[in-house]
Structure 1
């Protein structure tokens, strides 16, 4: 059985503000559907992704800004940083994790773990290893995104 991750219901406080933000980031608007004054669904897909986000009125009771560590992969972290910055998106510096792969010390773009191996080091991973360089940004509600540079996928991916 194939299971494909399709969509994340993202908690936001202002649907139009979130819509404008994700358009500015460069996500593709797929649907903006209003059924009533209590239900509106706005559906976006990141470029190149098969998984999408959806938000709106009557979509979730999760507090806005609750989602952290929403990972997107890019083939060139510096290029992604430049493009987002040029679009006016506040992004972190490019960084790598002291311990190597899979940075997991993030919350709203800030490091929350200072344990050995979980400290941000400014700049790309020294060997430019796949899965080793990152940048972060947050939407207007504080939902936190992590961009991770992947030049070569792990076997089986």
Structure 2
């Protein structure tokens, strides 16, 4: 049996503000549907992704801004970071874990500045949030592990 991750619901407090943000950073708006005053779904897909995000009203009970560590995989983290900054997003400096852990620690004190030495695939990150505080990580992946 195969499973495909298709959609992530991001809790937001202001649908229009979130819609403007995701459009500005280059996500494709696939759907904006309002089913009455208490139900709205706005569906976005990041460029090159098979998985999408949804923001809206009446679509979940999580607190706005409570999503953490939504990974956006990029081939060139330096270029991706620069593009987001050019689109008005506050993006952290690039960081890595000195132990070559291919997932970041929640404890930010373990972050080392800059690209991982030798630019090891999966090992370099940068972070940003949407207007509600939902947290994203850019992760540079240049070579996939076997089976991916």
TM range (shorter): over 0.9
Q: How many residues are aligned here? A: 148
- Following TM superposition, by how much is the alpha carbon of 1:127 offset from its aligned partner in structure 2, in angstroms? 1.0
Matched, 1:82 2:82: yes
- Following TM superposition, by how much is the alpha carbon of 1:103 offset from its aligned partner in structure 2, in angstroms? 3.2
Query: Under a length normalisation based on structure 1, what TM-score does the superposition of the two structures give?
Result: 0.91
C-alpha deviations, 1:6-57, integer Å up to 9, x for none?
A: 1011100000000011111111100000110011000001110001111101
Matched, 1:57 2:57: yes
- Following TM superposition, by how much is the alpha carbon of 1:2 offset from its aligned partner in structure 2, in angstroms? 1.7
Query: Under a length normalisation based on structure 2, what TM-score does the superposition of the two structures give?
Result: 0.96
C-alpha deviations, 1:77-131, integer Å up to 9, x for none?
A: 100011011111100001111221323324xxxxx354xxxx1111101110000
User: 1:39-54 residue pairs with structure 2 within 5 A?
Assistant: 39-54=39-54
* Alignment partner of 1:139 out of 130, 139, 144: 130
Question: 1 or 2, which has the higher strand percentage?
Answer: 1
CA RMSD between the two structures = 1.1
The match for 1:128 is 119
Question: 1 or 2, which has the higher helix percentage?
Answer: 2
Unaligned runs of 5+ residues in structure 2 are: none
- Following TM superposition, by how much is the alpha carbon of 1:146 offset from its aligned partner in structure 2, in angstroms? 0.4
